[in-house]
Amino acid sequence: MAAVRSKHLVLILAREFASNLATPTLITDERGCLIFYNEAAEQILGRSFSEVGEMPLEEWSSQFSPRTVDSEEPLPLEERPTGIALNERRPAQGRIRVTSVDGVDRDDAVTAFPLFAHTDELIGTVTIFWRE
């Protein structure tokens, strides 16, 4: 039986904060694993978080097929705002097209930023979607 990892308090608070926002918000842990997205993000992603649940980065990322808006080319993780926030530990923004689970393409501006518990302790990211 796999051990359950406890979540850092900052991630718990970020989830609580996001659950009270009307702005579509997604939260990952320090490995990029999806740990939560709020009700507003359900409209973009096409499913409730309770249906999807927590999942590894590769799995949730591939489900939504993030790509560039102009060329429709797949967007590598290192070029996505969330990937930049994780890998480079800095805020990033961009425009992406995602195909939600319900098959609908949506264009959004995305802002992602890293969450730090201490100056050198990355614990996750917050990604905010802005409808255009």
pTM here is 0.88
Query: What DSSP state is assigned to residue 55?
Result: B
Does the structure show a pLDDT above 60 at 3? no
Whose CA is closest to 78, among 90, 64, 69?
A: 90
User: Of the ranges 6-15, 28-37, 67-76, 104-113, which one carries the lowest mean pLDDT score?
Assistant: 67-76
Does the structure show a pLDDT above 70 at 5? no
Does the structure show a pLDDT above 80 at 41? yes
Reported as a single tens digit per residue, the pLDDT across 73-112 is: 888 889 999 999 999 999 999 999 888 777 788 889 999 9
**Residue range 47-55: mean pLDDT, rounded:** 90
Does the structure show a pLDDT above 70 at 2? no
Given this model, what pLDDT does residue 98 score? Answer: 85
Which is more confident, 132 or 111? Answer: 111
Spatial neighbors of 74 by CB under 8 A, at least 6 apart, are: 65, 66, 67
For 129, the 3-state DSSP assignment is strand
CB 81 within 8 A of CB 108: no
Domain 9-131 part of CATH 3.40.228.10: no
**Residue range 31-39: mean pLDDT, rounded:** 95
